[in-house]
A and B are shown apart, each in its own frame.
Chain A
Amino acid sequence: MTADQGEPVKGATIAAGSTAGSAAAGPVGGGAAGGPAGPGPSGRDVARTSRLGGSQLLYRLLRQREAGIVLVGVILFIVFSILSHGNFDSLENWGGIGSDAAELGLVTVGVSLLMICGEFDLSVGANFSFAALVMAIMIQDHYPPLEALLVDLAIGAGIGLLNGLVTVFLDIPSFITTLGTFFLWTAVTLIVTGGVTVTILPPSPTLLKVLGGSLSGQIRTEVLWWLGVAAVAGIMLHRTVTGNWIYAVGGKRSAAIEAGVPVTRTRIVAFTICGILAAFAGAVQLGHLGSMSASFGTTYQLEAIAAAVVGGCALMGGRGSMLGAVVGTIILEMLDSGLILSGVSPYWYEAVVGIILILAVAMHTRLGRLTRGGD
Chain B
Amino acid sequence: MLPLAVLAAAALAVAGCSSSSSSSSASSGTTSANSSLGTFYFISHGCPTDPFWPPVWNGAADAGKQLGIKVDILHITSSECGSTSAEVSLLDTAIAAHPAGIATTVTDATSFSSALQTAAKDNIPVVVFNSAPTASGVPSTANPYLAYLGQQNYSAGQGLATEAASEFSLSKGASVVVIDHEPTNISLTQRLQGVKAAFAPMGITPTVVNTSDDISQGSSIVSSYLATHKSVAAILTLGTTGTDEVAEAQSSAGTHFKIGAMDLDTTTLSYIENGTVTFTVDQQPYLQGYLSIVELFLDATEGASPVSISTGPVFLTSSNVKALAKYVTHTGY
Q: Give the B-binding residues of A (Cβ under 8 A).
A: 68, 71-72, 75-76, 78-79, 82-84, 87, 90, 92-93, 95-96, 99-100, 103, 190, 194-197, 199-202, 204, 214, 217-218, 285, 288-291, 293-299, 302-303, 336-337, 339-346, 348-350, 352, 355-356, 359, 362-363, 366-367
Q: Is the interface of B mostly helix, strand, loop or mixed?
A: helix
Total A-B contacts with CB atoms under 8 angstroms apart: 176
Across the interface, do A96 and B89 meet the contact criterion of CB distance under 8 Å?
yes
Across the interface, do A83 and B16 meet the contact criterion of CB distance under 8 Å?
yes
What separation, in Å, do the CA atoms of A356 and B9 have in the docked complex?
10
**CB proximity of B245 to chain A, nearest CB, Å:** 16
A-B contacts besides A197-B184, A295-B81, A343-B16, 18 pairs, CB < 8 Å: A78-B9, A197-B189, A288-B114, A290-B111, A291-B108, A295-B82, A296-B83, A296-B84, A302-B79, A340-B74, A340-B93, A340-B97, A341-B97, A342-B12, A344-B19, A344-B20, A345-B23, A363-B2
Q: Which B residues are in CB contact (< 8 Å) with A343?
A: 16, 19-20, 23, 39, 72
**CB proximity of A356 to chain B, nearest CB, Å:** 7
Which of B82, B108, B110 is most buried by chain A, counting CB atoms within 10 A of its CB?
B110
Which of the four size classes fits the interface of chain B?
Answer: 35 or more
Across the interface, do A285 and B85 meet the contact criterion of CB distance under 8 Å?
yes
The answer to whether the Cβ of B118 comes within 8 Å of any Cβ in the partner chain is yes
The answer to whether the Cβ of B183 comes within 8 Å of any Cβ in the partner chain is yes
Q: Which of B272-331 contact A (CB under 8 A)?
A: none
For A94, the closest partner residue in chain B by CB is B96
Across the interface, do B111 and A289 meet the contact criterion of CB distance under 8 Å?
yes
What separation, in Å, do the CA atoms of A90 and B99 have in the docked complex?
14
Q: Which A residues are in CB contact (< 8 Å) with B4?
A: 359, 362-363
Across the interface, do A359 and B5 meet the contact criterion of CB distance under 8 Å?
yes
* With contact pairs A197-B108, A298-B83, A352-B12 given, residues A340 and B183 touching in the complex (Cβ less than 8 Å): no
The answer to whether the Cβ of B249 comes within 8 Å of any Cβ in the partner chain is no
The answer to whether the Cβ of B8 comes within 8 Å of any Cβ in the partner chain is yes
Q: Which A residues are in CB contact (< 8 Å) with B110?
A: 199-202, 204, 289-291
**CB proximity of B269 to chain A, nearest CB, Å:** 26
For B7, the closest partner residue in chain A by CB is A359
Q: Which of B83-110 contact A (CB under 8 A)?
A: 83-86, 88-90, 92-98, 107-110
Across the interface, do B23 and A298 meet the contact criterion of CB distance under 8 Å?
no
What separation, in Å, do the CA atoms of A289 and B84 have in the docked complex?
9
What separation, in Å, do the CA atoms of A84 and B142 have in the docked complex?
30
Across the interface, do B77 and A194 meet the contact criterion of CB distance under 8 Å?
no
Q: Which A residues are in CB contact (< 8 Å) with B17?
A: 83
The answer to whether the Cβ of B210 comes within 8 Å of any Cβ in the partner chain is yes
7 A-B residue pairs with Cβ-Cβ distance under 8 Å, sorted by A, are A68-B5, A199-B108, A202-B142, A204-B110, A337-B96, A343-B39, A367-B1
What separation, in Å, do the CA atoms of A342 and B96 have in the docked complex?
12
Q: Which A residues are in CB contact (< 8 Å) with B12?
A: 76, 79, 83, 342, 344, 352
